């Protein structure tokens, strides 16, 4: 029996104004109810934004090191509760415990990192062109931040947005993905226990159209940070444009592993399995394409297929499980549609291709790990984000050919190369137009102290994590102090 969870507004848990709620169920066993969550709408968003707006002057006025200390306490609480939070996350979205522990760890790392920014947030001092004049730049918070997050990293991504926003002095209204509100409820509880004052952090649960849409277009929301599909990202961008709101978008990916003829094929296969089927392929950085040099193509494909067939698919709480379910029935159907598309366009189905519907698998949204071989770069399965356990293998003739395949899609998030030749590795690194690049490792596995994000259809020029995340949530102010006691005229006013 799942519990009931309200919105968190102005330091209080409360039901949706209309009194409605929606169910969240375990995708590995849909008989298990995770909880009933507030099914909110405009009115709830308006309340949350008003609370965040009212709390802004006080939070902005608190010295940044003090804000950092609160975040530090939150990080300590996350460490203490890590296992319990990871188990909740596996129940609510299906990925295996090893991965949900990693997700909570990302939140811990980001919270510690941003706690430290309470004592940095460096600006500049530069010499003036004039005598007796001093000048510097400082960061200032933007105001109320509206955060809209996806379900595949239910705690990591909310923390990637909340922690930099908070340490800079912004207040926050977050709308978690409809499939994964529990992990954000858990994160909010931790922040409240750590001492974040009322109104500084607010959470409104519900659908994208009824909560996300009014949040991003609310006139008192000064900055919107969104992670999700490119299709919704485009709507977010359009909603922010009329008011010239700060808008940060992190969207889809179609990432490539390039395997050269001098690669350690064993390593490349291991990387492709983990990169392609980790989180059931539901990562923005998933290695959903592998471009393999024709000289090692046969060996690579044979081993990849053997590895994919051997993966144990099941409930992520079972320590023997290597791949969990798809997030929901809709996503499972999308995967099935793409499998049909791949077959229709002539890709060779080498393994998988079906939903798993017998025994314990019948309880959830499971699909076989699926490999398509002999793919052409123009096929939809080789170009479009599927967001499921489907890997498309594309034969290539050379590194240049692999790079061309890699760069030929609309997205630009992550790429990797397997080679023993340092010249090839550096050439590929330079030529791939992506935000992330890996050598002899899969396309996944970011750390919080390097910027994260993508080019082209993946992002709009901002980055999460590291100091780059501070740019999203701050405005620069340049300050000139003239102590000459007379009018000095700058060359350009």
Q: 257 by DSSP, 3-state: which?
A: strand
Distance (Å, whole) CA 332 – CA 325: 9
Instruction: Provide the minimum distance between the beta carbon of 43 and ligand NAD in the complex, in angstroms, as a whole number.
Output: 17
Q: Virtual CA dihedral for 238, 239, 244, 250, nearest 10 degrees?
A: -70
Which of 67, 139, 175, 218 touches ligand NAD by CB under 6 A? Answer: 175
> By C-beta, is 297 or 452 nearer to ligand NAD?
452
- Locate tokens 């060996």: which residue? 299
Distance (Å, whole) CA 474 – CA 485: 33
Considering the rule CB under 6 A, would residue 469 count as an interface residue with ligand NAD?
Answer: no
User: Active-site residue 384, yes or no?
Assistant: no
Instruction: Provide the minimum distance between the beta carbon of 434 and ligand NAD in the complex, in angstroms, as a whole number.
Output: 11
Which H or E run includes 476? Answer: strand 474-482
Which of 49, 52, 55, 177 touches ligand NAD by CB under 6 A? Answer: 177
Considering the rule CB under 6 A, would residue 413 count as an interface residue with ligand NAD?
Answer: yes
- Provide long-range contacts, Cβ within 8 A and 24+ apart, for 366-370: 366/28, 366/313, 366/314, 366/325, 366/326, 366/332, 367/280, 367/325, 367/326, 367/332, 367/335, 367/336, 368/313, 369/276, 369/277, 369/308, 369/309, 369/311, 369/313, 369/323, 370/308, 370/335, 370/339
Dihedral sign computed on CA atoms, order 385, 387, 392, 396: positive
> By C-beta, is 250 or 368 nearer to ligand NAD?
250
Instruction: Provide the minimum distance between the beta carbon of 411 and ligand NAD in the complex, in angstroms, as a whole number.
Output: 8
> By C-beta, is 61 or 461 nearer to ligand NAD?
461
Encoded one letter per residue, x for contact with ligand NAD by CB under 6 A and - for no contact, window 251-290 reads xxx------------------------------x------
DSSP state of 262: T
Considering the rule CB under 6 A, would residue 229 count as an interface residue with ligand NAD?
Answer: yes
Instruction: Provide the minimum distance between the beta carbon of 24 and ligand NAD in the complex, in angstroms, as a whole number.
Output: 13
The active-site residue, picked from 99, 106, 117, 250, is: 250
Contact window for ligand NAD (CB under 6 A) among 38-46, 209-217, 370-378, 474-482:
209-217
Query: Residue 456 forms beta bridges with which residues?
Result: 411
Encoded one letter per residue, x for contact with ligand NAD by CB under 6 A and - for no contact, window 153-172 reads x-------------------
Distance (Å, whole) CA 282 – CA 123: 38
Considering the rule CB under 6 A, would residue 214 count as an interface residue with ligand NAD?
Answer: no
> By C-beta, is 60 or 462 nearer to ligand NAD?
462
Considering the rule CB under 6 A, would residue 44 count as an interface residue with ligand NAD?
Answer: no
Contact window for ligand NAD (CB under 6 A) among 69-77, 175-183, 269-277, 472-480:
175-183
Instruction: Count CB neighbours of 248 within 10 A.
Output: 27
* DSSP string for 18-72: T--EEEEEETTEEEEEEEEEE---HHHHHHHHHHHHHHHHHHHHS-HHHHHHHHH
Instruction: Provide the minimum distance between the beta carbon of 180 and ligand NAD in the complex, in angstroms, as a whole number.
Output: 8
Considering the rule CB under 6 A, would residue 59 count as an interface residue with ligand NAD?
Answer: no
Considering the rule CB under 6 A, would residue 437 count as an interface residue with ligand NAD?
Answer: no
Contact window for ligand NAD (CB under 6 A) among 6-14, 99-107, 173-181, 473-481:
173-181
Which of 35, 208, 442, 457 touches ligand NAD by CB under 6 A? Answer: 208
User: Active-site residue 284, yes or no?
Assistant: yes
Contact window for ligand NAD (CB under 6 A) among 149-157, 164-172, 299-307, 392-400:
149-157
Residue whose C-alpha is closest to residue 465's, from 250, 306, 217: 250
Distance (Å, whole) CA 330 – CA 324: 16
SS3 sequence of 354-400: CECCCHHHHHCCCECCEEEECCCCCCHHHHCCCCCCEEEEEEECCHH
Which of 227, 288, 315, 474 touches ligand NAD by CB under 6 A? Answer: 227
Distance (Å, whole) CA 45 – CA 63: 28
> By C-beta, is 149 or 170 nearer to ligand NAD?
149
Which of 143, 154, 199, 212 touches ligand NAD by CB under 6 A? Answer: 212
Encoded one letter per residue, x for contact with ligand NAD by CB under 6 A and - for no contact, window 74-93 reads --------------------
Considering the rule CB under 6 A, would residue 224 count as an interface residue with ligand NAD?
Answer: no
The active-site residue, picked from 21, 240, 247, 284, is: 284
Instruction: Provide the minimum distance between the beta carbon of 131 and ligand NAD in the complex, in angstroms, as a whole number.
Output: 49
The terminus-to-terminus CA distance of the chain in angstroms comes to 67
Which of 174, 355, 385, 414 touches ligand NAD by CB under 6 A? Answer: 385
* DSSP string for 278-343: GGGG-STT---EEEEETTTHHHHHHHHHHHHHHPPBS-TTSTT-SB---SSHHHHHHHHHHHHHHH
DSSP state of 464: B
Q: How many positions of this chain bind ligand NAD (CB under 6 A)?
A: 29
> By C-beta, is 231 or 493 nearer to ligand NAD?
231
Residue numbers of the site for ligand NAD (CB under 6 A)? 148-153, 175, 177-178, 208-209, 212-213, 216, 227-229, 232, 235, 250-253, 284, 385, 387, 413, 454, 458
Residues annotated as catalytic are 250, 284
């Amino acid at each position: 029996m799942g519990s009931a969870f309200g919105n968190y507004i102005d330091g209080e848990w409360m039901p949706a104004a209309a009194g409605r709620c929606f169910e969240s169920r375990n995708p590995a066993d849909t008989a298990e109810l995770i909880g009933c969550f507030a099914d909110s709408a405009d009115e709830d968003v308006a309340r949350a934004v008003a609370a965040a707006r009212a709390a802004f002057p006080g939070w902005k006025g608190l010295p940044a090191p003090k804000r950092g200390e609160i975040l530090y306490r939150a990080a300590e609480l996350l460490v203490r509760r890590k296992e319990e939070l990871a188990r909740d996350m596996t129940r609510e979205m299906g990925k295996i415990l090893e991965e949900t522990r990693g997700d909570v760890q990302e939140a811990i790392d980001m919270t510690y990192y941003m706690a430290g920014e309470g004592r940095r947030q460096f600006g500049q001092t530069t010499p003036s062109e004039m005598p007796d004049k001093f000048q510097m730049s400082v960061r200032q918070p933007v105001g109320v931040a509206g955060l809209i997050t996806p379900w595949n990293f239910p705690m990591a991504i909310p923390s990637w947005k909340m922690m930099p926003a908070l340490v800079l002095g912004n207040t926050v209204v977050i709308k978690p993905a409809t499939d994964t509100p529990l992990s954000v409820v858990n994160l909010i509880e931790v922040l409240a226990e750590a001492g974040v004052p009322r109104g500084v952090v607010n959470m409104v649960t519900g659908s994208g159209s009824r909560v996300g849409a009014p949040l991003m277009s609310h006139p008192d929301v000064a900055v919107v940070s969104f992670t999700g599909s490119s299709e919704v990202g485009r709507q977010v961008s359009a909603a922010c444009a009329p008011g010239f709101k700060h808008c940060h978008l992190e969207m889809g990916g179609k990432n490539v592993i390039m395997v050269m003829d001098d690669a350690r094929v064993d390593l490349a296969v291991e990387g492709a399995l983990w990169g392609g089927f980790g989180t059931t392929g539901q990562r923005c950085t998933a290695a959903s394409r592998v471009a393999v040099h024709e000289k090692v193509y046969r060996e690579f494909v044979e081993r990849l297929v053997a590895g994919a067939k051997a993966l144990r698919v099941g409930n992520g709480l079972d320590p023997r499980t290597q791949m969990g379910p798809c997030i929901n029935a809709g996503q499972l159907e999308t995967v099935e549609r793409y499998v049909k598309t791949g077959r229709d366009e002539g890709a060779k189905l080498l393994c998988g291709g079906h939903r798993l519907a017998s025994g314990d698998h019948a309880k959830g949204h499971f699909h076989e790990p699926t490999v398509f071989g002999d793919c052409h770069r123009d096929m939809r399965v080789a170009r479009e984000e599927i967001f499921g356990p489907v890997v498309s293998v594309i034969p290539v003739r050379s590194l240049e050919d692999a790079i061309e395949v890699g760069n030929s899609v609309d997205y630009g998030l992550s790429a990797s190369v397997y080679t023993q030749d340092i010249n090839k590795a550096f050439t590929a690194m330079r030529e791939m137009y992506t935000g992330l690049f890996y050598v002899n490792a899969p396309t996944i596995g970011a750390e919080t102290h390097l910027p994260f994000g993508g080019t082209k259809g993946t992002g709009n020029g901002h980055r999460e994590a590291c100091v780059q995340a501070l740019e999203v949530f701050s405005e620069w102010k340049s300050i000139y102090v003239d102590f000459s006691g007379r009018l000095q005229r700058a060359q350009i006013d």
